[in-house]
Every structure is written in C-alpha cells, then in structure tokens.
Structure 1
Amino acid sequence: MCAVLAALAATATAAEEAKPAPKFEFHGFVGASLFMQDAIFNNSGQQIFFVTRTPNTDRLLFGGDARQTRLNLSLAGSPIFGGATPKAVAEIDFFGTAGTSATNVTPRLRLSYGELKWENTTFRAGQFNMLLLGTFGATSVGHIPQSYAYNAGYLGGRTIGLEGTHSVPVGDMKVEGTLQVLRPGQGNLGGEAEGFGLTFAEASGTPAFEGRLRLTKAKLLDVYVVGHWNRVDRNGVGNAKSVPAALGDTQTTAVGSVGVKLTAGPLTVQGQGYVGKNLAEFTASLGQFVRTQDGDLHEWGAWGQLGYNITPEFSAWAFLGTCHPNYGEVEDLANAGAFNTAATGQPSNSRANAKLQNVTTAAMLRYMEGGYALGLEYVHMRTKFLVPPAASAARSPNGVLNGNQLMFSGMYFF
C-alpha cells in the first residue's frame, strides 16, 4: 500500500511539474510630445479632433503632453476548458479626469478582460475595444489612442461586454467573424441621465450589438466590414421624460463601416469609411450629442493614409479625413436647441456651437529603430460652423475655423 501511495504521489508531482508556468507579459509605450499650435481645439496636445476657436490676436501656443503613455499587463495560465489558454489583460493610459497636458497623472482604465483562447476560437468577457475601432488606425507617434482621425472619418470606443471570435483558414488567407454583446453606451445624449441614474441607452433594456467579418493575408492585406446597433429609450424607465408623440419611444443608433489596409513592400495604404446616425458616443458627430426628445443626426465620414518606408527605419506618411454630419439636420437641431454637451448633458448655445463639417490633413516623418520612435507631425484641421463663433469672428467671417499643430514626439515601444 505504501508503494502504491508513493507511486501516486510521484505521478501527481510529475503532472504538476509538467504544467506550463503562468506567463506574465508587460508591454506598452512610454514617452512624451512637445507641440506648437495656433488655435484652440476641443482639447490640446495629443488629443485634438476639431477646432473650437481661433484667437484673433496672440494665437501661438506651446506645450507638452505625456498622457498617451500606455501600460499593458497580462497573465496567461495553463490550458483549461478543453485546451483553451486563459488570459487576464489590464491596460491603462493617463487620459483620465481633468488635468493639464503636462501634469495629468490620472490613470484611465482602457482594457480589463478575461480571455479564453482555443486554436481558432477566442472568448472574452470584460472591458475591451469596440469592433468599430477597426483592426488598425492612422499611424502616428504622438496621436495614438486619441487619434487625429477621430471626427475625421474614424470611429471608436470601448465598453463592457462579451466577445466571441472564430477564424477559418482559407489557403494562405484567413476569414474571421466576431460578435460582441455590449453594455449600451450614452446613447445619443451626452451626460444627461434618466431618472434612475442610467443612460437612456441602458434604460432601453436591450444590449448593443456589433459584428465584424474580416479577411486577412499575412503582411499584405487586411479588409473588414463592421456594423453596430443599439436602442435608446427616449423617455426613460417609467416614462419619466416627455417626448413628442411623433418621435415614438425609441431612438436607434446604427452604423456600418468598412476598412482596408494594403501593405506592398515599403508602401502602406490604409483607410476606413462609415455611414450611420446618432454617432456622437463613438467620437464622431463633431461632439454633438442630441437630446432624446429631438430627431436623429445622420452622418458619413472617411479617412485614408499613405505611408512609405524610405529605409527600414525612416518613413513618411500623409493623411486626409473628414466627418460630415447632415447639414440640414444640424441646422434644424441647432434651431431647436437640441445639442447637449457631453460633460453636463445641458443644452449648449446650439446655433453658436453647431458644427457642419471637419476636414483633417496631416503629415509625418518617423524614424523608428529597436522599438524607439521619433516622430515629427504636422496636423491641419478645418472646421466649418453653422455661424461664426463670436470669439473667432474676425478670422472666420464664413464660419470656417482653421487650426494648425506641429508636434515632435519620442516614444519607446516595448
């Protein structure tokens, strides 16, 4: 009996020793940017999307920004659930609550999810990027998470939910399908909440859904189509808010998007386009959230970027993108006082702040070696307002504001 027990103990010990040890990984990028600009944008430094004001005199600004520093921690364990590798992922940057560009040290939780990964299937539960973010974004050194492509044809966001992905090899290519069931976001309302402390999207009682179909060929092609749908309860739980009968009780947020990236030797061509309605929560609509008791805001947007590696380390990039809400709907909603600010949920001075279109152009020279990137970037934004903003009228007789930023960044990617 003692011999049997000893043998069993030895077998258990051997099996325990055979299990792979948990794998810890630490990735991210750390660095900062110095910038000069001649306009007031929605924010500053590494987070500019459109122009809000162009001072009539004394326009030049100089500053620094380190908020995009990103830290990613992950831990993978031994296979479970029929061979799935479990993994925990947590990621932060420093675009947290209010603080100046140079000194903000408030972390922001970007990712927090648990993953199960089989050979061709992946399941995630937690907080992760929405599929609308795409599988690639505009290449940059100083504008990575807060891309200047936002409000210029690029959509994005992250929320809590469930995600499932399954891929099928097709020759030397791969077809991948992904479905997300998500906590619905702010809806189209900005910061205004319904009577029970929920957003009106949550008050709809239904989740948001996103789906993506993707085709890839290693080192050559990445193509995807993605769609999003969710409902918003216009009058909230218990019909707490009065809504015009003609609008009905439900508002819909919906968007379809397509993205293409082609890499041919030293040349990269990439871009995305979308069409949809009520999209302010996806960093679109030029920040114009619409009250639930008002109508819809339709829009389209697109961006494209061309990159060329002159040497393996040195590359040049050019970008063009636009966000184009429906002009007539913007004017009608502004006249009705329908736009809310995302921060307070209170009506803004709608006609004075209503924006019709934004066009962004950018150029970058990048040198990257051994994970360290140096980037010199120029960004020009042209934002068209319904009426000239009062503080910028002398420089904007037709409601068009132009802003420029020159930025130099150093980032170490690890």
Structure 2
Amino acid sequence: MRKLLHAMTVATLLSTASAARAETPAAPAAPAAPKSDGLTFSIGDASIKFYGFARLDMHFDDSHPNNTHLIYCIPSEDPNAPAGIGEDKNSHNFTMHAKLTRLGLDVSSPPIGKLGDATIMGRIEIDFLAEENVRTTRPLPRLRLAYAKLAWDDLSILVGQEWDVFAPLVPEVSGEFVLWGAGNVGDRRPMLRVDYTPKLGGDQLFLQGAVGLSGGIDNQNLDGTTSPYVDGESSGLPCFEGRIGYKGGHVWLEKKFWQAGVWGYYAQERLEDPLPAGYTEDRYTANVVGLDATLPILDMLDVRGEAWVGKNVNDIRGGILQGVSTVDGGQEIKSRGYWAEVVVRSCDWHALHVGASRDNPDDRDLAATSGTTIPTGAKDNRVLYICNRFNLGGGVKVGLDYLNWITQWRGDLDPGRDNRYSMFFMYAF
C-alpha cells in the first residue's frame, strides 16, 4: 500500500500535461433502424437520448473523515474530544464504491406554435449515492435532475429539480460531495427558474432568477420533538435566488472568453410553538452573496473559482453544514468561504487541477462542540488539492487526486488532519 501511495503521490505532483473532455465515440450505422443514432432515437416527433457513465471510485485516508464517501470534515485527533467528533490519530481507512455511476435521459420535441414556437425539452438524471446507511454493494437510486424547459431565443423557463442559480461552478475534486461544507456552496432543489441570456455583439449577458424549496437540502427541523415539519417549509415561503453574469471576449487570447457573475440567495425558517430548548426566537433568515469567475490566462491555462459570505447557509451546503446555534437563544451562524483552482491543459488527453478551498464560520456564533448526526463546533475547514484527469478516448477517463484536509474545532481541541488519495475509472456513453 505504501508503494502504491508513493506512486500515486509522485504521479499527482509531477504531472505537467493537460487535458480535454472525454471523447464520445462516433455512433455506428444502424441500417435496420434508420432513425437511430447510437443512444439517440426518435419516437414520433420526439427525440430521445440516453447518456451516462459507469464509474468506480477508490479512496485511502490516513485519518478517518466524518464519512468515507460523503466527506466534509475531519474529526479531531485530540484525546479529550467529545464522543462523535474524536478519532484516534492517524486511523487510516480504504474504501471503494460505484455509487457515482450515472444514468440520464433527454427528451426534446418540435416547437410549440401556441407558445410562440417555444422549444421544449425534459431531463431526468439519477445516480446511486442515496441513503448512505445502506450497504455499499446495495445502493439506492438518487434523483439528481428532473425538469422540463421551455426556451425561446433569449429566454427560458424551467420547472422541476435543477442546480441552484447561484454558485454555478463546481470544483473538480471530491466527486461525491464536491467540497460542500469546505468552501463550495449550491446544490440541486425543486424550483421555478427563468433565464434571460441576450447576445451583446460577441458577448452575452445572463439574468437568472428562481424560487425554490427552502429546507430542501438540509431538511432541518430544530423543533423535531414538537413538530414534524421542516423549518424551511414552515416559513410559508420559498427561497429566492438570483444571478447577474457576463461572458466577454478575451483581451489577449483569440477565440477565448472570460466569464463572471454576482449572485445571491435568501430564505426564511420558522420554528413551531412550543419552542425547543435553547431557542427563544421562532423565525430565522438565511442569506448569501457571492461571485464566480472563469479567466483564461493562456491557451492552456485557466483560473476559476467562487467566493461568498452569508449566514445560516447550511441549506446551501455552507457553514460546515451548521445553520442556527443555541448561542443567545438562537443565532444564525455567519460564515464565509471560497474555492479556487488553476487548470493546466497542454495536450488533449490530460488536465492538471491545483486548488484550495475554505469554509470559515464565525467562532462567536457556534454552539459547543459535540458529536451528532451533523457535528457542531467545527470552526474552520481548509483543503488543498491536486487532481489529474486522463482522457484516454472512447469515453474512458481516469482520475488521480490528492487532498490535504484540515478541520479546526472549538474548545482548543487538536485539529483533524487527513491526507486523502483518490482514484477513479469511468466509461462514459
């Protein structure tokens, strides 16, 4: 195992080539079904396309994370740490799974005359990362996306489950939990979404907004002993999301574009009477503002990332998944974070991603450190990472990653430190 880890580390640190997306093989001719094109076929006027990939992930940690699959913090290695957030120092583990295997279906139909010749399409997408308490070899399907979308020239309306409007970028590393709780925010939820994206010469403006399900990610129910209702739903309001973005031609690189955006999120949560112990208020707010940017530096070098600041952001995967504490009878936890990565592509079969991320809640808002389903008292999460992506053609892709992860805890406890080595194999179709 040590030789394997040494080889993985050397390959990760010394790779200097770069990459492109996995190639899609050309579909063979199908004389018996002339309307078929690989995994795309027609039924009446509708076009149907199946897509997805089969994937195997492997991880080695030299210290236990909170979860070997859905990692977002590292338990303290302090012998005095409370039960539930303490681990023996350098307690390593190895795991592997196929839960990120993905299946998707796209359906599109001809323009609808009664709706101004709007085009319509639908998408359903699943993977197998649901119910983490079931056996790794018996995973349950998880709904990722399920929506219908009407589109005109510059305008589209979407109904269903889709990614949040804000924080549109996703870091390359940690495929299961994509650095949620460690600097990355934004997830998928049911929503009604509108996008207006007019062209401005060779540039493009993005005006995007949505109303979605509040509490749809964390399912927070602080008054669970007295009420069966999720706090976001009990507020009687949806969450509100918006983004203004711009895509412009690059100043010194031909056929390259830079992109940037500013965005925000707002939601409310309400507790039912009688209030649970430790809380004196029945209504709390959640909000965040942030920015995203993608900037090509050279033909083979990009910089991309996001930064944000907000409070009570656990329903959008911020604050190290901590939202409202019992401090002062109920306190929205303020937090700030970012992630950023440099992407190097010097050839068409390899990419190198070097990045950093951080989620930093305000220590004064945190409750005492304790081990629960979602541990409390985590006050800082920092990750440094290096990723290699090898696109070998024919839909075959291999990933080789290294992450250095440190979680700080309240109470002057020793931090949790983990060196994670990851590898995946994927065949996309």
TM-score (norm 2): 0.78
- Give the partner amino acid of 2:317: T
Kindly provide the CA deviation profile for residues 333-372 of structure 1, in whole angstroms up to 9, marking residues without a partner as x: 328x8x9745xxxxx6xxxx51110100110122113332
Distance in 2 between residues matched to 1:100 and 1:406, nearest whole Å: 24
Does residue 174 of structure 1 match 2:200? no
In the alignment, the residues of structure 2 paired with residue 36 and residue 376 of structure 1 have an alpha-carbon distance, to the nearest angstrom, of: 12
Match of 2:72 in 1: 49
Give 1:27 shift: 2.0
Contact 2:209 / 2:241 at 8 angstroms: preserved in 1?
yes
Residue 50 of structure 1, CA deviation: 1.6
Map 1:80-159 → 2, pairs under 5 A: 80=112, 81-99=115-133, 102-132=136-166, 134-140=167-173, 143-147=174-178, 149-159=179-189
Partner of 2:242: 211
Contact 1:212 1:227 (8 Å CA) reproduced: yes
> Quick one: distance in 2 between partners of 1:23 and 1:178?
27
- Report the alpha carbon displacement of residue 207 of structure 1 after superposing the two structures with TM: 1.4
Contact 2:385–2:403 (Cα < 8 Å) also in 1: yes
Q: 1:369 aligns with which of 384, 392, 404?
A: 392
Are the counterparts in 2 of residues 151 and 285 from structure 1 also a CA contact under 8 Å?
Answer: yes
Could you tell me how far apart the structure 1 residues matched to 2:221 and 2:102 are? Answer: 26
Partners of 2:427 and 2:258 lie apart in 1 by: 27
Q: Could you say which residue in structure 2 is the equivalent of 1:70? A: 102
Are the structure 2 counterparts of residues 280 and 321 from structure 1 closer, same or farther at C-alpha, using a change threshold of 3 Å?
same
**Between structures 1 and 2, the one with greater helix share:** 1
Distance 2:156 2:384 in 1: 37
Specify the code of the residue in structure 2 equivalent to 1:226: W
Q: Which moved more, 1:268-277 or 1:67-76?
A: 67-76
Aligned to 2:331: 295
| 2:262 counterpart of 1:225 | yes
Relative distance call for 1:159 and 1:188 in structure 2 (3 A) is: closer
Instruction: Answer whether contact 2:62 2:420 (CA < 8 A) is retained.
Output: yes
Q: Percent identity?
A: 23
Q: Are residues 58 and 382 of structure 1, via their aligned partners in 2, closer, same or farther at CA, if it must alter by over 3 Å?
A: closer
Q: Corresponding residue for 1:345?
A: none
Distance 2:65 2:351 in 1: 28
2:57 is the alignment partner of 1:33: yes
Alignment of 1:238-317 (within 5 A): 239-241=273-275, 248-263=281-296, 264-290=298-324, 294-317=330-353
Structure 1: runs of 5 or more not aligned: 1-18, 343-347, 389-397
Q: Which residue of 2 aligns with 1:162?
A: 192
Contact 2:56 2:97 in 1 (8 A): yes
> 1:384 pairs with 394, 400, 408, which one?
408
Deviation at 1:220, TM superposition (A): 2.2
In structure 2, distance between residues paired with 1:192 and 1:72 = 35
User: Which whole-Å deviations, capped at 9, do the CAs of 1:321-343 have from their partners, x for residues lacking one?
Assistant: 1100001222xx328x8x9745x
Unmatched tracts of structure 2, length 5 or more: 1-42, 78-86, 250-255
In 2, Cα distance between equivalents of 1:362 and 1:225: 26
What amino acid does structure 2 have at the position aligned with 1:221? W
CA distance in 2, matches of 1:105, 1:189: 21
Question: Following the alignment from structure 2 to structure 1, what is the Cα–Cα distance between the partners of residues 313 and 135?
Answer: 27
In the alignment, structure 1 residue 202 sits paired with structure 2 residue 251 = no
Give the CA deviation at 1:188: 7.8
SS in 2 for 1:328: helix
Once the 2 structures are TM-superposed, how far is the Cα of residue 381 of structure 1 from its aligned partner?
0.4
Q: Partner of 1:402 in structure 2?
A: 417
Please tell me whether the aligned partners of residues 75 and 415 of structure 2 are also in contact (alpha carbons under 8 angstroms).
Answer: no
- Deviation track 1:278-310 (CA, whole Å, cap 9, x = no partner) reads 011222222324358511110100111011113
Letter in 2 for 1:231: Q
Change (3 A) 1:74 1:145: farther
After superposition, the Cα gap between the structure-2 partners of 1:362 and 1:244, relative to the gap in structure 1 and judged at 3 Å, is: closer
Cα 1:287–1:255 change in 2 (3 A) is same
Instruction: State the partner residue of 1:13.
Output: none
Equivalent residue of 1:77, what SS?
strand
Q: How many residues matched?
A: 365
What is the rounded CA distance, in whole Å, between the counterparts of 2:350 and 2:135 in structure 1? 28
Alignment CA distance shift 1:158-1:315 (3 Å):
closer
CA contact (8 A) 1:115 1:122 kept: yes
Code of the residue aligned with 1:110 in structure 2: it is R
* Higher RCO (Cα < 8 Å, 6 or more apart): 2
For 1:244 and 1:33, how far apart are their aligned partners in 2?
42
